[in-house]
A and B are shown apart, each in its own frame.
Chain A
Amino acid sequence: MGYVDVTGVRHTLPDGRVLLDDVSFRIGDGVRAALVGENGAGKTTLLRIIAGDLTPEAGAVARSGGLGVMRQFIGSVRDDTTVQRFLVDLSPPAVREAWDALEATELRLMETDDEPAQMAYASAFAQWGDVGGYEAEVTWDTVTVAALGVPYERCKYRELQTLSGGEQKRLALEALLRGPDQVLLLDEPDNYLDVPGKRWLEQRLLETRKTVLSVSHDRELLARVADRVVTVEGGTAWVHGGGFAGYPEARAARHERMAELRLRWDEEHERLVELVRTLQQQAANSPDMASRYRAMQTRLAKFEAAGPPPERPPEQKVAMRLRGGRTGVRAVMAEQLELTGLMQPFDTEIWFGDRVGVLGSNGAGKSHFLRLLAGQDVAHTGSWRLGARVVPGFFAQTHAHPEWQERTPVDLLWHGEPGRPGVDRGRAMAALRRYGLADQGDQPFRTLSGGQQARLQILLLELSGATLLLLDEPTDNLDALSAEVLEQALAGFEGTVLAVTHDRWFARSFDRFLVFGSDGRVYESAEAVFDEARVQRAR
């Protein structure tokens, strides 16, 4: 039994803007709710408030059944966190605290082997048993076998950064779905998962009896799993009581209703103001009208004090202008190309204007292939070359740009880089405005949401004059609207596009596919292939 009750929550950003106001909704027992909204609308902030990471300025969050949280960064962990530490962090607070005490007393015992240290260690051990630590370790073993194919004892000291993004996500999901917490908050659980992984996730979420609130931009996953849709927009939240299939219609109807109510309020307000003005003139000439004038003034004051109904949320305006340019007829040629240890040699020719979906399982070498074409140093044999006037532009999967972390979008646009001239502040702001990033122009890159980082990367591609777009999971962090805008921009791009994607919706816009099979074979397909088995690697 688990539920989440959010009542009157308000949150203000450090710059004074109100991000969320009067947010109220309930996610009842066993409900699978999706939390949707445009990038930067406050979805992750709301999840952090529900998780207890942030204290709301007003309002309250009540919940029961134990809370398990999967944070957005899982999938891009690049520090020295081990599998063991990762699983501890996903455990209930009592298990986490007992583990930390056990580690601390063990360390103390190694430094000072006296009686108090031994008794503290023994006590921490007893506590570990009491809070269910041994049962947790049994669960972790099941989890690592399911997610990674190896027992816990064999992988517990392995660093998480040696796992792919999909493996990290799967490890977290297995731990939460098999763990004791009855309410799960999942922030983009499907990112980095390949399609079999997404199908697995859909099935597990359909089977679980836990209460789930998840943020996802995958339109297919939302359509299959969600039975409620909580929308964060216009600084507040509302709930659609059905699945995702009827959601766009419900949202449009709500927006129309809001616009209608606001229009009526404005008309009534105008009428009352006019009446007050007329009565004021009449009261000047006729003392009898003075009391009616005062009554009307009071009525207007009350009407204004009650305030207007909320305005219809503004539509997000993102205008991408990926222009490209004419190149040689052959854009990419590869002969007996083999990425060392990842695939068998293959030949391919990609023509100017082609839209090529690069598909296959995690770990099959797709990202390496794109990085090679982008000019990065990737071990390979065989030959490859780009055609005349082909200028590659690369969109990285994990937004792995450590050199950008402290720089602002305006700064990145101002300075330019080899192949991309810098632009002045005015042009930079105009470009950022087209991408819905004007308010983030002076924020460090690391503080942008995943979607904002993705949109900035696409803007940089636009400005680089690339004629060959190499996109590694470009829709992963984009909200549904921005993903559609990207699709439209790609449709109008004069050039060649190669995109690694696991987005089934996005893949429909491609006309040929290069499939990286789990057996190391690379082959062409006219249809999207999403059921390649997971690549088995030695562990």
Chain B
Amino acid sequence: MPDTAVLRTLPDDSIDAAARRLSDEFRDRLGPQYVRHIVQLARQDLSGVPLGAIPELVERLARTRLTSAA
């Protein structure tokens, strides 16, 4: 047996769900790729925040940034 550990990561639902909702919300003004990028950045900026609070905070931050961009 190799003496290594495999770090398994779980999919981050907060990004997918937020990107889906926000793409829909900003459909007329911004492209889905751009919306997803902003959501991913928001998620990065919020690293360290307890997981339970992540989905709400990511979506909120991304929405604020997208509103400014639009």
Residues of A within 8 A of B (CB): 113-115, 118-119, 121-122, 125-126, 128-129, 134
Contact = CB atoms under 8 A, between A and B. Distances in A.
A125 B50 CA distance: 7
B57 interface: yes
A118 B46 CA distance: 10
B61 A118 contact: yes
A511 B8 CA distance: 74
Contact of B50 (A113, A118, A119, A134): A134
Nearest to B45: A119
A128 B49 CA distance: 9
A113 B68 CA distance: 13
Interface in B21-70: 45-46, 48-50, 53, 57, 60-61, 64-65
A126 B57 contact: no
26 contacts: A113-B64, A114-B64, A115-B61, A115-B65, A118-B57, A118-B60, A118-B61, A118-B64, A119-B45, A119-B61, A122-B45, A122-B46, A122-B49, A122-B53, A122-B57, A122-B61, A125-B49, A125-B50, A125-B57, A126-B48, A126-B49, A126-B50, A128-B50, A129-B49, A129-B50, A134-B50
Contacts of A125: 49-50, 53, 57
Contacts of B65: 115
Q: Which 7 A-B pairs have the closest CB atoms?
A: A129-B50, A126-B48, A122-B49, A126-B49, A118-B61, A125-B49, A122-B46
Contacts, number: 30
A129 B65 CA distance: 26
A113 B59 CA distance: 13
B68 to A, nearest CB: 8
Contacts of A113: 60, 64
B57 to A, nearest CB: 5
A132 to B, nearest CB: 12
A122 B64 CA distance: 14
Given A125-B57, A128-B50, 8 more contacts: A114-B64, A115-B65, A118-B57, A118-B60, A118-B61, A122-B45, A122-B53, A122-B57
B8 to A, nearest CB: 22
Contacts of A129: 49-50
Contacts of A119: 45, 61
A389 to B, nearest CB: 69
B57 A121 contact: yes
A126 B45 CA distance: 12
B58 to A, nearest CB: 9
A68 B64 CA distance: 42
Contacts of B50: 125-126, 128-129, 134
